[in-house]
Amino acid sequence: MQNVSRFIVGIIAVPLIFSVIVYLPLIFFVSLMAVIVFLALFEYFPLVLPASKLLPIHYKVCYALAGVGITLAVFFRGVPGGLGVLFVGLLALMGIIMGGMETYEQALQRVGALFLGYVYIALSLSLLLPAVQIAGNGRGLVLWLILVIWGGDTGAFYLGTFFGKHKVYPKVSPGKSVEGVIGGVLAAMFVGIVAGNFIATGFTVSEKIILPIFLLLLGQFGDFTESMLKRGAGVKDSSRLLKGHGGVLDRVDSFLFTIPFFLFYLAVR
């Protein structure tokens, strides 16, 4: 049943995201990113502050909306604009939380945890916007990146499910195996080469082979990082929004380190 649910969500999400990236005006992609950032931060809030389940929902809504502000700032004013909003968010968090906590140690811990969400999720995902606006082949580059990560994650999931025996880090993510990671690397390389022959990326053959390896490994690291957060909160999924897939944060965790690396690589290559 879980695999059926995963398949249904996949056949709906893949054409939608493909259409938004390739065919629709840029504002649709920006809107999609804003929705993803909002939902991911909304799920992240109770992971780092388990006691927040007792708080009114508008606390989580306001926190997530501030993250959307980072996304919009990156789109309209570039990365410096996003960093400016990020700094304002830090000041706001410090003012609000430190004024209401009994101890400054407790306040600083909560400020750090919530601010991490803005960097780790909002800013990282928002860096897709400068990438998609690269003249000539920005949309192709973003589409290629997404296909490589999805292909690698799919390969890691199925090869790990059927052949996984040697665990990578069982204390954090018991389901992840060495065999799964190897399968993910091979699948990412395969998708990188095949997709690179149909999508205008400007990459050389060697880049289409080597770059997916780094992207897949960073994606796995992102997966482990989110698993650590969920383990600390005592939950299996960030939410149950997507049947068979968990929450939005569960679906984008593989991108949270790959997107900054990918944009950096495009800037220095």
The pLDDT of residue 243 is: 63
The pLDDT of residue 54 is: 66
The token pair at 206 is: 């060697």
The pLDDT of residue 158 is: 83
> Mean pLDDT of residues grouped by 10 in the chain (269 residues)?
57 80 91 95 89 77 94 95 93 79 73 92 96 88 94 86 76 79 92 91 92 94 88 80 76 94 92
What's the predicted TM-score (pTM) here?
Answer: 0.90
Tell me the residue range of the domain where 199 lies. 2-268
Number of domains in the chain: 1
